[in-house]
């Protein structure tokens, strides 16, 4: 990964107060224009190759957006830019109307409420399902609160609430290591949800899942809309169809088209791009 940072970054202590997730100063999350996240004219080059090329994308508050496109289209790079892992050469990336994500580092962006689920589940196999959620909850509260602190009743209720949402309440006391691949993925989504993110980025969530697990994942992601904005990258078109409202098609680092699943699947340019793969 090239470090193409140009501007000095604020560290998490300078830029954020942990407890209320409110950036210092007047930079509260402003979604008054309905947009929770936008990027404009964003370009990223790796050794001259444009992984993102003047890309613009606008995500509404509470929206579930699907992002598709052939291999190498720039989908993961786009997530890397939003989460602060990769710095763009040009363009702007804003959280709401006022929070400039390009001025923040990865931990500060996560702390602000933008979280990401990577493809490979990374749960703690030797801890129970409950303990995994407990750990994420405490880790989110900042370094000075000890991991050994006892949970409050409210915190226990929140963990139970998340267990209901991800549908693995009956596995609460089981070691995470014995869960199926799908169950681990849901637990990991739960570990993000417990931190009450505003925006969740989910890269290829159903890869390696059984049909039943895929259907359950669709239900789960659909249930998050409204409260969270979710951007889902996925190659499984049947799955995308089952959850999609608006689909954005990426090609060669730019948005090729956006619309309903039917609109994009019948778009000759989209067909061409996929056939040409």
Which residues would be at the binding site for ligand ATP (CB under 6 A)? Answer: 1, 46, 51, 69, 71-77
Q: Closer to ligand ATP at the Cβ: 79 or 166?
A: 79
What does 46 interact with, of ligand ATP, Mg ion, none (CB < 5 to 8 A by kind)?
Answer: ligand ATP
For the CB of residue 27, give the shortest distance to ligand ATP in the complex, in Å: 29
**55 versus 137: smaller Cβ distance to Mg ion:** 55
User: What is the spatial distance between Cα 152 and Cα 269, in angstroms, rounded to a whole number?
Assistant: 54
The span from the CA of 193 to the CA of 212, in Å, is 22
Nearer to ligand ATP, 75 or 216 (CB): 75
CA distances from 102 to 60, 106, 197 (A): 19, 10, 19
In 49-92, which ranges are continuous DSSP H helix?
A: 75-82
CB of 76 to Mg ion, least distance (A): 3
Q: In angstroms, give the least distance from the CB of 201 to ligand ATP.
A: 12
Q: Closest approach of Cβ 51 to Mg ion, in Å?
A: 10
Q: Which does 118 bind (CB under 5 to 8 A by kind): ligand ATP, Mg ion, none?
A: none
* Contact residues for Mg ion, defined by CB under 5 A: 75-76
Provide CB contacts within 8 A for 74, sequence distance 6+.
44, 51, 52, 53, 55, 250, 252, 253, 254
Quick one: 55 or 129, whose CB is closer to Mg ion? 55
Q: Residue 12: name the closest of 67, 84, 78, 69 by CA.
A: 84
Cα 171 from Cα 159, distance rounded (Å): 13
């Amino acid at each position: 990964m090239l470090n193409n940072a140009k501007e000095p970054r604020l560290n998490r202590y300078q830029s954020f107060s942990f407890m209320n997730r409110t950036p210092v100063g007047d930079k509260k999350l402003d979604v008054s224009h309905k947009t929770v996240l936008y990027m404009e004219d964003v370009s990223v080059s790796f050794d001259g190759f444009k992984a993102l090329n003047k890309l613009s994308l606008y995500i509404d508050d509470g929206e579930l957006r699907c992002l598709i496109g052939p291999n190498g289209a720039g989908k993961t790079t786009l997530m890397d830019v939003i989460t602060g892992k990769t710095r763009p050469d040009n363009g702007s990336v804003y959280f709401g109307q006022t929070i400039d994500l390009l001025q923040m580092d990865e931990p500060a962006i996560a702390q602000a409420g933008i979280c990401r689920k990577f493809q490979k589940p990374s749960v703690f196999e030797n801890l129970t399902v409950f303990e995994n959620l407990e750990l994420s909850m405490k880790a989110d509260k900042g370094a000075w609160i000890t991991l050994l602190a006892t949970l409050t009743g409210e915190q226990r209720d929140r963990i139970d609430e998340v267990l209901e949402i991800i549908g693995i309440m009956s596995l609460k006391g089981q070691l995470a290591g014995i869960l199926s691949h799908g169950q681990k993925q849901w637990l990991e989504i739960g570990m993000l949800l417990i931190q009450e993110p505003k925006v969740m980025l989910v890269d290829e969530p159903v890869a390696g899942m059984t049909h039943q697990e895929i259907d359950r994942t669709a239900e789960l992601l659909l249930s998050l809309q409204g409260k969270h904005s979710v951007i889902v990258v996925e190659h499984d078109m049947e799955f995308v169809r089952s959850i999609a409202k608006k689909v954005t098609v990426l090609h060669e680092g730019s948005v090729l088209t956006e619309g309903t699943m039917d609109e994009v699947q019948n778009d000759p340019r989209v067909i061409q791009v996929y056939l040409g793969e």
